[in-house]
C-alpha cells in the first residue's frame, strides 16, 4: 500500500485552485468587457463592476470615474449631446423622476426587476435615484441604461 504524500496532495490542490481562479477571472473579465461595450459614449468607467442575472433578465453596473461624475453634474442631460453611438443619441435620454413609484407600482424599466439580485446598497441607491431628479435613463427595446451621477454609477438592465 502506498503512503499518503501530503506534498503531492497539496501541490495538486493548489493547481486545481489556480485553474479555478484563472477560469473565474477570465469569465469576469469577459463579462466586464462585453457590458462595457454596451455603455454610452463618453462615460469613463471605474474599476468596480457588478452583475446579476436571473432567468430572462439581468443587470450590469459600473462605477464611473470622478471626471465623468463632475462633467455629468455640470452638463446634466447635455452630456449625451455628443454621443457617437446611435443607440445612445441625445434625444432618447430622459431625466428622472420616473412617473409613479417603480417599486410600489411594480413598473420597472426593462429588466430592472433583476436588481433584486444586486448588492443591497446598490439596489437601494438605484431605486432611490429613480424617484428624484438628477438621474438619466434611456430605454431602448428590452433594455434600459441608467446613469446615476450622485452615486457615480451607470447601470444597464435587460429583459430577454
Domain presence at residue 107: yes
Domain span at 104: 37-159
Domain presence at residue 94: yes
Domain presence at residue 82: yes
Domain presence at residue 21: no
Q: Is the pTM of this model over 0.85?
A: no
Which cell is 64 given? Answer: 464611473
pLDDT by residue, tens only, the chain of 160 residues: 567 778 888 888 999 999 999 998 888 888 888 888 888 878 889 888 888 777 777 888 899 999 999 999 999 888 887 766 656 555 678 888 877 665 555 556 666 666 666 667 777 888 888 888 889 988 887 888 889 999 999 988 887 7
Domain presence at residue 19: no
Q: List Cα–Cα distances, 8 to 4, 17, 27, 36, 75, in angstroms.
A: 9, 14, 29, 42, 61
Query: How many domains in the chain?
Result: 1
Amino acid at each position: 500500500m502506498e503512503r499518503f504524500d501530503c506534498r503531492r496532495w497539496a501541490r495538486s490542490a493548489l493547481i486545481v485552485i489556480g485553474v479555478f481562479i484563472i477560469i473565474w477571472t477570465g469569465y469576469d473579465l469577459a463579462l466586464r468587457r462585453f457590458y462595457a461595450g454596451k455603455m454610452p459614449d463618453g462615460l469613463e468607467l471605474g474599476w468596480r463592476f457588478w452583475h446579476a442575472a436571473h432567468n430572462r433578465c439581468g443587470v450590469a453596473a459600473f462605477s464611473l470615474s470622478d471626471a465623468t461624475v463632475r462633467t455629468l453634474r455640470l452638463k446634466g442631460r447635455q452630456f449625451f449631446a455628443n454621443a457617437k453611438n446611435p443607440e445612445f443619441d441625445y434625444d432618447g435620454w430622459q431625466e428622472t423622476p420616473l412617473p409613479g413609484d417603480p417599486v410600489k407600482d411594480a413598473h420597472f424599466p426593462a429588466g430592472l426587476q433583476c436588481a433584486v439580485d444586486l448588492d443591497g446598497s446598490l439596489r437601494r441607491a438605484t431605486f432611490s435615484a429613480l424617484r428624484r431628479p438628477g438621474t438619466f435613463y434611456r430605454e431602448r427595446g428590452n433594455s434600459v441604461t441608467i446613469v446615476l451621477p450622485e452615486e457615480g454609477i451607470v447601470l444597464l438592465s435587460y429583459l430577454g
